[in-house]
């Protein structure tokens, strides 16, 4: 008997009707002879509603209490899903993250999984149950409830698949696989049958929302067979694995974009060793992730440089820069919003010259200025103004031969407009 981990997101269980459909799908998998572990997110907008309620009472709620609050959303989902499966005549047992043996580091709101001991899950499976686990949560060695941050249910599913040595981990969402770009923006986007861990990791880091980067990292490290598929159709999904054969003539696999971008510039910094280490060390000490860094030329012993951070971190980053001014004198600092990062990703880029040049040419012909550039062996990213983003993405998609004759449908039949 194979062991399968199935993960369903909030939209997949957002209503009782959808939850019944998910339960039927799980039972079908069990009747095919598989042992099944299910990971579930909170229903629909439950998490957002809980956050809104907390902010009505306290605009700066303690992180510990937020974790205590937000974990209830997934607990509602697992209990209701278990009840639904029982109604269909099959055994199921629900578990919180900590009951499933998920241990995390002692950090609220964005904890990392440190260990999993799935003893109770194996026992439930041996008794013929479907084991249903609340995603997004765990517990520290000291007994504190924690949450895993954005994309935490994906990470829960992949981590459990690794701990259980599952044959496959299936991530169910509102699209039937991984596409060459967001099908909401490009209706003729191409569905990928297979993609490598490295390509998927780049796409996830660069803004593709279908999988969280931490989940992909976990899958790559533990060689988990990962499949992304739709909870609304029976279509075959996309397999994420170690290597993916490159389709003939397709050098770029996907186009991602990130709207959560702010650019900060520091002007008139002394051009001497150790300056960048002090500035970016101070940002790192505050837990601020820095993405693209560009230094301009040096004039009169002074240099200018710019870097990007998430919009949410912009204020904190400016405070850090102001605080470090005593150690690293500079003339002024500025910031710019209303920006996006658009990226092309493909394993074929490493052996095909001119891929980045084509990107620059397409953006230029769209009448858009490129503000910053970052490249690696399998990706090229450009920071541009936000307004023309969709036109640029569509132009790039066409230029790299990714358009198809098919029109992608996102969501379930009841969502059709």
C-alpha span between 211 and 108 (Å, rounded): 22
Report which of 372, 362, 371, 365 is spatially closest to residue 402, judged by C-alpha positions. Answer: 362
Cβ atoms within 10 Å, residue 42: 27
Beta partners for residue 203, in sequence order: none
Tokens (6 digits) for 200: 């998927």
Q: Is 48 helix (H, G, I), strand (E, B) or coil?
A: helix
CB atoms within 10 A of CB 119: 10
What phi and psi, each to the nearest 5 degrees, are found at residue 203?
Answer: -60, -40
Q: Which token pair is 336?
A: 């710019």
**DSSP characters over 156-171:** HHHHHHHHHT-SEEEE
DSSP string, 306-370: EEEE-GGGHHHHHHHHHHGGGTS--SEEEEEEEEEEEEEE-GGGGG-TTHHHHHHHHHHHTT---
Binding site for substrate: which residues?
47, 74
Binding residues for ATP: 7-10, 173-174, 179, 184
Q: Cα 119 to the chain's mean position, in Å?
A: 28
Report how far residue 303's alpha carbon sits from residue 168's, in angstroms, rounded to the nearest whole number: 51
Which residue positions form the known binding site? 7-10, 47, 74, 173-174, 179, 184
CB atoms within 10 A of CB 185: 16
CA-based diameter of the chain, in Å? Answer: 79
Among the listed residues 257, 272, 245, the one whose alpha carbon sits nearest the alpha carbon of residue 348:
245
Tell which phi-psi region holds residue 5, choosing left (phi > 0), alpha (psi between -120 and 50) or beta.
beta
Number of H helices, E strands in the chain: 11, 20
């Amino acid at each position: 008997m194979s062991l399968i981990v199935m993960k369903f997101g909030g939209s997949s269980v957002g209503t009782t009707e959808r939850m019944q459909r998910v339960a039927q799908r799980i039972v079908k998998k069990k009747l095919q002879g598989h042992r099944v572990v299910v990971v579930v997110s909170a229903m629909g907008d439950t998490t957002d509603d809980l956050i809104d309620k907390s902010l009505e009472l306290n605009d700066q709620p303690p992180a510990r209490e937020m974790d205590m609050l937000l974990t209830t959303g997934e607990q509602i989902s697992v209990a209701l899903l278990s009840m639904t499966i029982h109604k269909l005549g099959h055994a199921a047992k629900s578990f919180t993250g900590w009951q499933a043996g998920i241990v995390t580091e002692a950090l609220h709101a964005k904890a990392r999984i440190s260990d999993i001991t799935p003893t109770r899950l194996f026992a439930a499976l041996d008794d013929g149950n479907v084991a249903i686990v609340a995603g997004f949560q765990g517990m520290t060695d000291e007994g504190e409830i924690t949450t895993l941050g954005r994309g935490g249910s994906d990470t829960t599913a992949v981590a459990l698949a690794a701990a259980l040595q599952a044959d496959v981990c299936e991530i169910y969402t509102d699209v039937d696989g991984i596409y060459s770009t967001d099908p909401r923006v490009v209706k003729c986007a191409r569905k990928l049958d297979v993609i490598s861990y490295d390509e998927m990791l780049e796409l996830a880091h660069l803004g593709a929302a279908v999988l969280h980067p931490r989940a992909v990292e976990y899958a790559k490290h533990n060689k988990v067979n990962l499949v992304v598929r739709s909870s609304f159709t029976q279509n075959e999904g996309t397999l994420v694995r170690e290597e993916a054969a490159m389709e003939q003539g397709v050098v770029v696999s996907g186009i991602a974009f990130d709207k959560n971008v702010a650019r900060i510039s520091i002007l008139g910094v002394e051009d001497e060793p150790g300056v960048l280490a002090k500035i970016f060390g101070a940002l790192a000490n505050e837990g601020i992730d820095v993405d693209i860094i560009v230094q301009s030329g040096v004039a009169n012993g002074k240099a200018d440089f710019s870097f990007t951070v998430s919009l949410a971190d912009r204020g904190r980053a400016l405070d850090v820069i102001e605080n470090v001014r005593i150690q690293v004198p500079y003339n002024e600092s500025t910031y710019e919003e209303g920006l996006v990062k658009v990226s092309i990703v493909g394993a074929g880029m490493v052996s095909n010259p001119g891929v980045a040049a084509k990107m620059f040419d397409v953006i230029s012909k769209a009448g858009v200025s490129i503000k910053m550039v970052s490249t690696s062996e399998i990706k090229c990213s450009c920071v541009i103004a936000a307004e023309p983003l969709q036109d640029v993405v569509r132009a790039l998609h066409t230029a790299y031969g990714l358009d198809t004759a098919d029109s992608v449908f996102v969501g379930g039949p009841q969502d059709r407009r």
